[in-house]
Amino acid sequence: MKKIITSYGNFLRNTSTLYRSAAEKNNANCKRGCFECCSAGFFDITLLDALHLRAAMRQVPDPLRSRILARAEEQLDVLEKKKAFSRRNPLLRTEKDIDRVSLRSARVSCPALENGGCTIYEHRPHICRIFGPTIRGARRAVHLEGCGYFKKDIPAADFPVLDNYADEEVLLRKMFRKAGRVRLIDLDTIIPAALTMDLSKWLFSTNGARNGHVKK
Which residues are at the interface with ligand SF4 (CB under 6 A)?
38, 110, 112-113, 118, 120, 124-125, 128, 191
Q: Which is nearer to ligand SF4, 52 or 143 (CB)?
A: 52
Q: Which is nearer to ligand SF4, 40 or 179 (CB)?
A: 40
Whether residue 111 contacts residue 71, with contact meaning beta carbons closer than 8 Å, is answered with yes
- Beta carbon of residue 140, minimum distance to ligand SF4 (angstroms, whole number): 27
Query: Using CA atoms, how far apart are residues 40 and 30, in angstroms rounded to an integer?
Result: 16
Closest by Cα among 148, 171, 144, 166 to 22 = 144
- Beta carbon of residue 147, minimum distance to ligand SF4 (angstroms, whole number): 12
In the chain, where does DSSP find H-type helix?
Answer: 2-25, 47-56, 64-81, 95-103, 126-130, 161-178, 191-196, 200-204, 206-210
How do strand 113-114 and strand 185-186 relate by DSSP bridges? unpaired
- Beta carbon of residue 37, minimum distance to ligand SF4 (angstroms, whole number): 7
- Beta carbon of residue 121, minimum distance to ligand SF4 (angstroms, whole number): 6
Whether residue 133 contacts residue 23, with contact meaning beta carbons closer than 8 Å, is answered with yes
Q: Which is nearer to ligand SF4, 118 or 185 (CB)?
A: 118
Q: Which is nearer to ligand SF4, 125 or 146 (CB)?
A: 125
Q: Which is nearer to ligand SF4, 125 or 212 (CB)?
A: 125
- Beta carbon of residue 68, minimum distance to ligand SF4 (angstroms, whole number): 9
- Beta carbon of residue 116, minimum distance to ligand SF4 (angstroms, whole number): 9
Q: What are phi and psi of 143, to 5 degrees?
A: -95, -30
Q: Which is nearer to ligand SF4, 124 or 143 (CB)?
A: 124
Helix, strand, coil percent content, the chain, rounded in steps of 5: 50, 10, 40
Whether residue 113 contacts residue 39, with contact meaning beta carbons closer than 8 Å, is answered with yes
Closest by Cα among 54, 61, 84 to 192 = 54
